[in-house]
Structure 1
Amino acid sequence: MTTAQSEAGAAAARTVTDSLVASLTRGVVGSGKTACHCPFTGERLAELPEATEDEVAAAFDLARAAQPGWAARPARERAGIALRFHDLLLRRQTEVLDLIQLETGKSRLSAHEEVQSVAMAARYYGRTAPGLLRPRRHLGAIPLLTQVREARRPHGVVGQISPWNYPLELSAGDVLPALLAGNAVVHKPDTETALTALWARRLLIECGLPAEVWTVVLGAGPVVGPLVVEHADYVTFTGSTRTGRTVAQRAAARLVGSSLELGGKNALLVLRDADLDRAAEGAVRACFSSAGQLCVSIERLLVDASVADAFLARFLARVEALRIGPELDYGVDVGSLSSAAQLATVVQHVEDARARGATVLAGGRPRPDLGPYFHEPTVLTDVAPPMRVCAEETFGPVVSVRRFATEDEAVTLANDTRFGLNASVWSRDARRARRIAARLRCGTVNINEGYAAAYGSVRAPMGGMGDSGLGRRHGAEGLLKFTEPQTVARQRLLPLAPSHGLDDRRYTALISRSLRAMKSLGLR
């Protein structure tokens, strides 16, 4: 074991104590045993309770019993818990930053992205949820005679299945709007990063959340995941496209709604008029933050041929300068991959590309001297089908570079994927960049930034097209998807039918004149 690994192991022992694990797992159902591990060393971090089929059902029963009382609380009271959570999260962020790093292997700065995202979501929904959920009046079928109110009702119990790569953001960040909408949540986080999710749950309980309203069940994804879908009134899932299809099919078979954020093969376009230094710096962040284990990170660089050499000189110099390591502190740029499986995928993609004629411009190797799952940030060129790296999501620190001659070719290349999650366009001409953005088939487009500008703008919806998923998180949609709209219409004085001596013919003539009048008056 290297010195860096020994230090990481010692930090894990100091942070993940038996008393901490006991505190975080209090109230978590599960008579079995499972474990999470530290990617920096490969060693066990903690033993955790594993739920049986009956225990998952019991967790839903507990949540279902608690949900009506929670929904009956005023929306402003529920929102106040989110705002207190915002303050406490920022005050105690060091605790969760250590957990995120120890469970995912990412760098400290990448871990802090999660704190930022969750704090912004807590503030946004804490401020806006009461207004978004407030009953709304609508113009009725016959003005003055028909009074209409639209109310928002929670689904009941939301089943949430979250992945390992962003364990704070993709747990608390999605649980918050579901809770503020009046639902209870039964949450299955990935076991390997469950401590972070459990820490967020405990913090929300400290802020006033009833413990039964956010229930956590742990266990193997193929076992516990389907049980969550089987019992839920609405399902949210973040993960692979293959698993997402199965989740959607199971939910649809029960006529239960679902929201899915799935994979991506995201492109970054460098136009000929881009600021090349800024573009190179931004591309490094976009490709290698969280070691590339981010759904919205960039895996394809498309560069105008007229500036490609100049851009690559800048980009490769920055890639070579990246600091890699397992330290639990700021100053390291790229951390570890999360598991042996992730490392194997990265190695397979790089070696397949190399064997089929791709050129490695930077990196290209695992780094076992740093830890069991480290891999160098890698840049490939001369990439073409049928190389796996062309079409499959690598989900690691690997990016391919391709040159284009025209804007039309750039757009065609960017859209040449079954995914449609995120893209990035770099240009000094904002109008030109927006014009290209409008032609890209993806849910978010960042101009002169890689992914953070769109993802961090929590007032706007975020999600994917094509094989990148269904539904949106963030914005009003990110809250209202956790509700069912209910329309209540009250008819006054006259029915919507022949009355007061009108026969059918005179009634329909009156209605026709009324409809023409309403259009003339500009009514909607």
Structure 2
Amino acid sequence: MSDRNPTPAGGPLVEGPHDPEHDPTASYALEPEYVAALTRRLVATSGHSVQVHSPLDGAPLAHIPQSTDDDVAEAFARARRAQAAWARTSLDERSAVLLRLHDLVLDRQDEIIDLTVLESGKARKHAFDEPLHIALTARYYARTAHQHLDTERKLGVVPGLTRVEVNRIPKGVVGIISPWNYPFTMALCDGLPALLAGNAVVAKPDAQTMLTALLAAQLLEEAGFPKDLWQVVAGPGSEVGPSIIGRADYVCFTGSTATGKLVARGCADRLIGCSLELGGKNPLLVLRDADLEKAAEGAVRASFSNAGQLCVSMERLFVADQVYDRFVERFVARTQAMTLGATLEWGNDMGSLISQAQLDTVVAHVDDAVAKGARVLTGGRARPDLGPFFYEPTILEGVTPDMTCFGHETFGPVVALYRFHDEADAVARANDGSYGLNASIYSQDGARARTIARQVLCGTVNINEAFGATFASIDSPMGGMRESGMGRRQGSEGVLRYTESQSVATQRLIRFAPMLGMSDETYAKVMTANLRLMKKLGRA
């Protein structure tokens, strides 16, 4: 592994490097006016603020004002007023705003990426994925709005005489609780279809990446969404989360399985819907006929993108005996060639973990595995010389069920290798545990790989790709099975979850009751005969 030392990037957001003689730990800072403009978007009147730091170098970035329960109530009140007018706005107008957002995100991508890197510590190339994904999401829902949300004709019980239509009515105000690992993507990707469907949003982004989420809210308004339609509140999840769940008409949550269960309970108490994208211990299968160069390249991206802090990244690699040694040689070599560094510039293959807590988890998982007999093929060390939370991309061999990282999500740059001989056994081991978010299969026989994919209990399966094929294909649903979540983002399911279906039937000429002096018994016989006739005619 090679290292790239921090270098100043400059640009409209960054003042440049501090004087190292006065503050040797700080490399970057944000313009105070810029921070003030973003934080003014918060509904937060507590008078209390929390300081956030950049994972790149530990430098302070901003003080984030904190919200009270009254602030959350005010945010919902504003959102409800805005939603009432927005719901009357035509679908074409809503779509046009989404297309303006598409262009705005692409035009402002450097600003978005800079802020994302500063707040999350990720490599610039991984930060680029965020405006890319939001542009794809905005364009997809704008172009397919009528396909998903137009009133739809359905079969009536009496052909020609019963007209049935299904309307899609917005839920109202959607609560979105988003994580820190993809702060721009997760701030917006679930909310854009909610807005398209006629809802308003009250968002609570993670405290560690609040500025990126506030920039996302600013871009929504600049694109033309009404000012109060998207409200942002800040505060600890344990305090602000229940306040949102207690007021929202629907809740969308991305985070840990443990917290997701609490969200689901809160929503169940109020009989409101929710969608949850939760944890994973995702498997990658390298079959005996895989292209090993492609599989090794894909495994690096699958395991170490965003330093492994990606819900769909791989932590378990199952490799066929016939190709195991050759694959491992290539995978280790590619991992060792990765460049690490704390910088806003392009050129790094991996950046930092987000926090000391995340670093502590990674260290604990690797140390526990090694103490119990696992072998480190590469990596296995923290790198404080690069930044406070850096950890090398790490490949483990010989991981056993008694080791913490065997079944628990690490959410860091750590992956375990396992041999398999029988593909049925590999699928069974991939399905082991309670998670089921994402999987990957490498094989040169696409049809065979797709057959195997149907046996893998994951919400998405990528063939000859790590995770990007499903995640970037916005027309397809994305989400988890089992304890990896419920509900789906993207595609029709990603927007229809924010609507109530309303069936409207118009009846002509006949009624569903005896007519013209007919007795109840005769009516029953006539209806029975009609049912038999409809079956013979092939009617639904």
Report how far residue 25 of structure 1 moved.
2.4
How far 1:499 moved relative to its partner?
Answer: 1.6
State the superposition RMSD in angstroms.
1.5
* More moved, 178-187 vs 30-39: 30-39
Q: Partner residue of 2:425? A: 409
Counterpart amino acid of 2:188? Answer: A
Matched with 2:42 is 28
TM-superposed CA distance for 1:171, in Å, is 1.0
Q: Residue type matched to 2:369 in 1?
A: A
- Measured in 2, the distance between the counterparts of 1:273 and 1:30 equals 57
Within the candidate set 479, 487, 502, 2:495 is matched to 479
SS at match of 1:35: strand
- Alpha-carbon spacing, 1:300–1:180, altered in 2? closer, same or farther (3 Å): same
Is residue 35–residue 191 contact of structure 1 (8 Å, CA) maintained in 2?
no
CA–CA distance in structure 2, aligned partners of residues 523 and 22 of structure 1: 64
Q: Which residue of 1 aligns with 2:382?
A: 366
Unaligned runs of 5+ in 1: none
- Residues 7 and 345 in structure 2, CA contact (< 8 A), matched pair in contact too: no
Partner of 1:200: 216
1:19 — aligned with what? 33
Partner of 1:241: 257
Please report how far the alpha carbon of residue 169 of structure 1 lies from its aligned counterpart in structure 2 after TM superposition.
Answer: 0.9
1:79 aligns with 2:95: yes
Q: Deviation of residue 14 (structure 1)? A: 6.5
CA distance in 2, matches of 1:142, 1:13: 73
Q: Map residues 230-269 of structure 1 onto 2, 5 A cutoff.
A: 230-269=246-285
From 136, 152, 174, give the equivalent of 1:120: 136
8 Å CA contact retained: 1:5, 1:371: no
**How high is the sequence identity, in percent, across the aligned residues?**
54
State how far apart, in whole Å, the 2-side matches of 1:79 and 1:508 are: 49
Distance in 2 separating the partners of 1:420 and 1:179: 29
Q: Secondary structure of the residue that 1:306 maps to in structure 2?
A: helix
Q: Report the secondary structure of 2:380's partner residue.
A: coil
CA contact (8 A) 1:264 1:421 kept: yes
Contact 1:129 1:479 in 2 (8 A): no
- Superposition map of 1:72-111 within 5 A: 72-111=88-127
Could you list the per-position Cα deviations for residues 78-118 of structure 1 after superposition, in whole angstroms to 9, with x for gaps in the alignment?
Answer: 11111000011111100000011011110011111111111
What amino acid is the match of 1:291?
A
| Residue number in structure 2 paired with 1:60 | 76
Query: What does 1:121-520 correspond to in 2, within 5 Å?
Result: 121-520=137-536
Residues in 2 aligned to 1:13 and 1:397: alpha-carbon distance in whole angstroms:
24
Deviation string for 1:247-282 (max 9, x for gaps)? 000011100100000000000000010000110001
- CA displacement 1:445-480 (0-9 Å, x = unmatched): 000001001111110000000010000000011001
On the 8 A contact 1:233/1:256 being kept in 2, the answer is yes
Deviations 1:171-222 (A, max 9, x none): 1111100111100000000121111111111111011111210000011111
Structure 2 alignment gaps of length 5 or more:
18-25
What does residue 22 of structure 2 align with? none
Mapped contact 2:29–2:61 kept (Cα < 8 A)? no
Distance 1:391 1:3 in 2: 33
Q: What is the TM-score normalised by the length of structure 1?
A: 0.98
The structure-2 alpha-carbon separation of the partners of 1:132 and 1:368, relative to structure 1 and needing over 3 Å to count, comes to same
For the residue of structure 2 that corresponds to 1:505, the secondary structure is: helix
Structure 1 residues 13 and 323: alpha-carbon distance in aligned structure 2, compared to 1, 3 A threshold: closer
User: Contact (CA 8 Å) 2:41, 2:214: kept in 1 or not?
Assistant: no
Deviations 1:369-399 (A, max 9, x none): 0000000000001001111101100000000
Inter-partner Cα distance in structure 1 for 2:267 and 2:309: 27
Tell me the TM-score normalised to structure 2 length.
Answer: 0.95
Deviation of the 1:59 alpha carbon:
0.7
Contact (CA 8 Å) 1:268, 1:424: kept in 2 or not?
yes
Please tell me whether the aligned partners of residues 103 and 193 of structure 1 are also in contact (alpha carbons under 8 angstroms). Answer: yes
Is residue 29–residue 59 contact of structure 2 (8 Å, CA) maintained in 1? no
- In structure 2, give the amino acid aligned to 1:502: M
User: What residue identity is the alignment partner of 1:433?
Assistant: A
CA distance in 1, matches of 2:208, 2:420: 41
Q: Tell me how far apart the structure 1 counterparts of residues 176 and 295 of structure 2 sit (CA, whole Å).
A: 36
Is this contact kept in 2: 1:148–1:487, CA < 8 A?
Answer: yes
Deviation, structure 1 residue 7? 4.2
SS at match of 2:266: helix
Letter in 2 for 1:86: H
Distance 2:516 2:413 in 1: 76
Instruction: Provide Cα deviations, 1:43-75, integer angstroms capped at 9, x if missing partner.
Output: 221112210111111111111111110011001
Native 8 Å contact 2:475 2:491 kept in 1: yes
What's the CA shift for 1:432? 1.1
Q: What letter is aligned with 2:496?
A: L
Q: What CA distance in whole angstroms lies between the structure 2 residues aligned with 1:250 and 1:367?
A: 41
What one-letter code is carried by the residue in structure 2 that aligns with 1:20?
Y
1-structure distance, mates of 2:130, 2:41: 25
Sort the Cα spacing of 1:484 and 1:13 in 2 relative to 1 into closer, same or farther, 3 A. farther
2:340 counterpart SS class: coil
